[in-house]
Amino acid sequence: MGYSAFRILKEAITGHKGWKPVWHKAEPLPEYDIVIVGGGGHGLATAHYLASKFDQKRIAVLEKGWIGGGNVGRNTTIIRSNYMLHENEAFYEFSLKLWEGLEQDVNYNAMVSQRGVLNLYHTDPQRDAYIRRGNAMLLNGADAQLLTAEGVRKMYPFLNFDDARFPIRGGLLQPRGGTVRHDAVAWGYAHAADKRGVDIIENCEVTGFDIKEGRCHGVQTTRGRIGAKKVGVAVAGNSGRVMAMAGMRLPIESHVLQAFVSEGLKPLLDGVITYGAGHFYVSQSDKGGLVFGGDIDGYNSYAQRGNLPVVEDVCEGGMSVMPMIGKARMLRMWGGIMDMSMDGSPIIDKTHIDGLYFNGGWCYGGFKATPASGYSFAHLLATDSYHETAKAYRLDRFARGYMIDEKGQGAQPNLH
């Protein structure tokens, strides 16, 4: 019997004895058909879709720590599909549609809440860039509206319209954008994959690949060798370290992105707001905390913690765009390891080593991509062909000159 209100009633009456583990602690088998390296959102989603949409069997997900301990547990929970380039927008709109059906697909409430994402603009060039982006969104079947300053004021009257160094001149709104309870995404996919026989193996760190004559036959781990016909690596910030074990250098740098949450507050902010003249974006969680962030620290780091200048820069942006926020108190700061790519867009591709596939380069946009990344990586692993919406995410695009550069910042990861 799945999770539902009736199940809660039944268990409540019988003293909660009937609840089973959300996912089982599997022991590693010597051999699988497909091994996914990385028990974060993307790895678990890949396993779920491999089993549920591509009818694959004998799948294992290897996680070096505890599932959901990486970026899926450390982000600011925003989902949206408001990209300018078709190579991205098609993929992220596909992801948003998967989000909309997630609870029913995995029978776990990740609280997908679509209350709108509003990108503020402050100059004519910014407005024009958002018009170009909004039109690209509509071309891909997403929803987009251009609001004037008055339109923004109606939605969020507490924004700074009177005393702004960079006045709010309007905003691009995606009503279907919103937030999702991030932890529940990892647990939900784990729960559904587990139900279809996927082995979820925690505390099992990959320490090397078994590669002979250009083909990958499995991995070495802290819990012994595990054979596999195909190995899919989805380890986000650790991409560089893991693929180095296969002798590969990637167009990726690992950077720290800090995120912040305030003490719990009565509801005052419905959707997600991003500030166009400073590094600040914010939403309010269902528990009442303001979840906000800004830019990456800017230097390579695996430390999962950042430094003060960014904290102050984010709060300066927050105070400038919504001056009521001064009295909210910051409760917790943490950091994730962002796999920043050379054009700000991801890579979902085979490698020159047969049987070894790579998924990474998500910068700080990985959370919203979780379902589509899982689905298209499963498609590639199962069929050896690219999913329609992810065909541009090739590893060799940089050599061929087909960069997918939303911000136009070029080959400098910390500017994306």
Partner 1 sequence: MIIHHPLLGPRDASEFVYLGDASLMNRPNPKSETAADDFYSYQYLRDNPMGEHRELWYHEQGDRSWLVVTRNTLTHDITKVELARDVARAQK
Partner 2 sequence: MSLIDTTKTLNFTFNGKAYQGFEGDTLASALLRNKVRIVGRSFKYHRPRGIMGAGSEEPNALVEIHGAGTCEPNRRATTIKLFEGLDARSQNHMGTLNFDALAINDFMHPFLASGFYYKTFMWPKAFWEKLYEPVIRRAAGLGTLSKAVDPDSYDKGFLHCDVLIIGAGPAGLQSALNLGLGGKHIILADDDFRMGGRLLSETYEIDAAPALTWVEQTLKTLESLPNVRLMPRTAIYGVYDHGIYGGLETTTDKIGIAKPRHILWRIYANSSILAAGATERPIAFANNDRPGVMLASAVRSYKNRFGIELENTALLTNNDDGLRTDAAHIFDTRNGDYVMDVGGRKGVRSVTLNTGENVAANHLAVSGGWNPNVHLTCHKRGRPKWDEALSCFVPDTHTLPSDMSVIGAANGKFSTHGAFMDANDICEKLGVKASELPQTEDAPVKISAFWHVKGTKRAWVDFQNDVTAKDITLAHQEGFSSVEHVKRYTTLGMATDQGKTSNVVGLAVLADAIGQSIPETGTTIFRPPYTPVPIGAFAGTHRGQHFKPTRLTPSHKYVAENSATFIEAGYWKRSQWLAREGEKGWRDSVDREVLMTRNSVGICDVTTLGKIDVQGRDAGKFLNKVYVNTFSTLKVGKCRYGLMLREDGIAMDDGTTARLSETHFVMTTTTAKAGPVFRHLEYVRQCLYPDMDVHLISTTDQWAQYSVAGPNSRKLLEKIVDPKFDISNEAFPYMACGEITICGGIRARLFRLSFSGELAYEISVPARYGDTLIREMMHQGEAFDAVLYGTEALGVMRIEKGHAAGNELNGTTTANALGLGGFVSKKKDCIGKVLSQREGLVSEEALQMVGFIPVNPKDKLTNGAHFIPKGTAPSPETDHGYMSSVAWSPMLKTYIGLGFLKNGQNRLGEVIQASHLMGNSHVDVTVVSPHFFDPKGERLRA
Q: Which of 29, 139, 247, 352 binds partner 2 (CB under 8 A)?
A: 139
Q: Is 149 in the site for partner 2 (CB under 8 A)?
A: no
Does position 268 bind partner 2 by CB under 8 A? yes
Distance between CA atoms of 408 and 357, rounded to whole angstroms?
28
Minimal distance in Å, beta carbon 343 to partner 1? 9
Cα–Cα distances (Å) from 372 to 68, 138, 189, 369, in that order, read 18, 19, 13, 6
The stretch among 160-168, 197-205, 236-244, 324-332 that binds partner 1 (CB under 8 A) is: 236-244
Instruction: Between 148 and 222, name the residue whose CB sits nearer to partner 1.
Output: 222
Q: Which two tokens stand for residue 385?
A: 């062909």
Half-sphere exposure of 200 (CA within 13 A, CB side): 29
Contact between 8 and partner 2 per CB under 8 A: yes
Residue 407 CB coordination number (10 Å): 11
Q: Are 389 and 94 in contact (CB under 8 A)?
A: yes
Residues 356-415, interacting with partner 2 (CB under 8 A) = 397, 399-403, 405, 407-411
Q: Which two tokens stand for residue 253?
A: 């740098």
> Which listed option, partner 1, partner 2, none, makes contact with residue 251 (CB within 5 to 8 Å by class)?
partner 1
Among partner 2, partner 1, none, the one that 8 touches (CB under a kind-dependent 5 to 8 A) is partner 2
Kindly provide the b/e burial profile for residues 31-64, where b requires at least 16 CB atoms within 10 angstroms of the residue's own CB: ebbbbbbbbbbbbbbbbbbbbbeeebeebbbbbb
State both tokens at 332: 């917790």
CB of 238 to partner 1, least distance (A): 8
In this structure, are strands 215-221 and 206-212 parallel, antiparallel, or unpaired? Answer: antiparallel
Q: Per CB under 8 A, does 374 bind partner 1?
A: no
- Asked whether position 66 contacts partner 2 by CB under 8 A, the answer is yes
R_g of the chain computed on alpha carbons: 21
Asked whether position 252 contacts partner 1 by CB under 8 A, the answer is: yes
According to DSSP, residue 113 is labeled B
Q: Which residue has the tokens 């503020």?
A: 120
Q: Does 57 help bind partner 2 (rule: CB under 8 A)? A: no
For partner 1, the closer CB: 171 or 366 = 366
Q: How far is the CB of 178 from partner 1 (least distance, A)?
A: 33
Which residues fall within 8 angstroms of residue 24, CB to CB, at 6 or more apart? 194, 200
Instruction: Name which of partner 2, partner 1, none residue 301 binds, using a CB cut-off of 5 to 8 Å depending on partner kind.
Output: partner 1
- Minimum distance from residue 414 beta carbon to partner 1 (Å): 6
User: Is 76 a residue that touches partner 1 (CB under 8 A)?
Assistant: no
Stretch 270-309 residues interacting with partner 2 (CB under 8 A): 277-278, 284, 286-288, 303-305, 307-308
Fill in the amino acid letter for 189: Y
For partner 2, the closer of residues 245 and 265 by Cβ is 265
Residue 244 within binding range of partner 2, rule CB under 8 A = no
Among positions 324, 352, 383, 384, the unique one binding partner 2 when judged by CB under 8 A: 324
Determine the interface stretch with partner 2 among 65-73, 75-83, 247-255, 356-364 (rule: CB under 8 A). Answer: 65-73
Edge-to-edge strand ranges of the sheet holding 117-121? 145-148, 170-174, 117-121, 272-274, 281-284, 289-300
Determine the Cα angle at 98 with ends 92 and 99, to 5°. Answer: 90
Is residue 342 close enough to count as binding partner 1 by CB under 8 A?
yes
Q: Cβ 370 to partner 2, closest distance in Å?
A: 17
Phi, psi of 100 (to 5 degrees): -65, -20
Gap between the Cα atoms of 413 and 253, Å rounded: 6
The least CB distance from residue 304 to partner 2, in Å, is 7
What are the residues binding partner 1 (CB under 8 A)?
Answer: 238, 240-241, 244, 249-254, 298-303, 307, 309, 342, 398-399, 411-414
